[in-house]
């Protein structure tokens, strides 16, 4: 796993991960940044998929990458409704689901933000611990964790 300070919307990978809600709108945080950079079609597809599949917290659904430098966006559902609190247990479920989905789809590279640490309200320290535990030894997928401010990266590096 690599850690970088940088803008996730400018990165290149098979998959960029979005910290998502389970109904589709991409209104804040990483989701809004991905929508702005990648195009409204990502959000429109997300809403359609959520209407059909009704994903629950801890699950992952997939849309196209729009104008971003990725094939897919994996939407990790950290909260059912926008701006709801999340939990470290949900982050853990999301990471497991992300790895399963990536392996099922033969994904080779994936960029993740610090899931649920914004409006989800989960401690960056706890999320960093779980990232190190679950993603730290993955060797079949090139995983990059990106944070535009760098604060999550500093914490995560302590656990790696």
pLDDT at position 155 is 97
Helices 124-135 and 88-104: angle between axes, nearest 10 degrees: 30
pLDDT at position 117 is 96
Distance, CA of 108 to CA of 115 (rounded, Å): 20
Distance, CA of 49 to CA of 147 (rounded, Å): 27
Phi then psi dihedrals of residue 68, to 5 deg: -75, 165
Burial class (CB in 10 A: 0-12, 13-18, 19+), 74: buried
Domain boundaries, the chain: 2-159
pLDDT at position 91 is 98
Burial class (CB in 10 A: 0-12, 13-18, 19+), 28: middle
Q: How far is CA 81 from CA 27, 102, 121, in A?
A: 11, 25, 14
pLDDT at position 98 is 98
pLDDT at position 63 is 98
Low-confidence stretches of the chain (pLDDT beneath 70): none
Distance, CA of 45 to CA of 110 (rounded, Å): 20
pLDDT at position 85 is 96
Which segments within 6-129 are labelled E, that is strand? Answer: 15-21, 60-64, 72-79, 109-112
pLDDT at position 6 is 95
Looking at the DSSP assignment, which residues form a beta bridge with residue 111? 16, 144
The token pair that represents 16 in the structure block: 């960029």
Q: Which CATH number fits domain 2-159: 3.40.220.10, 3.30.390.30, 3.40.50.720, 3.30.479.30?
A: 3.40.220.10
């Amino acid at each position: 796993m690599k850690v970088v300070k940088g803008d996730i919307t400018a990165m290149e990978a098979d998959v960029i991960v979005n910290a998502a809600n389970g109904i589709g709108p991409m209104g804040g945080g990483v989701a809004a940044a991905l929508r702005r950079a990648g195009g409204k079609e990502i959000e429109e597809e997300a809403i359609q998929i959520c209407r059909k599949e009704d994903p629950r917290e801890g699950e992952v659904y997939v849309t196209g990458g729009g104008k971003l430098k990725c094939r897919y966006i994996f939407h990790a559902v950290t909260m059912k409704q926008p701006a709801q609190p999340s939990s470290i247990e949900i982050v853990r479920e999301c990471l497991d689901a992300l790895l399963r989905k990536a392996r099922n789809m033969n994904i080779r590279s994936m960029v993740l933000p610090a899931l649920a640490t914004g409006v989800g309200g989960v401690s960056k320290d706890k999320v960093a611990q779980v990232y190190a535990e679950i993603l730290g030894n993955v060797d079949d997928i090139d995983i990059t964790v990106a944070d535009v401010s760098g604060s999550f990266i500093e914490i995560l590096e302590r656990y790696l």
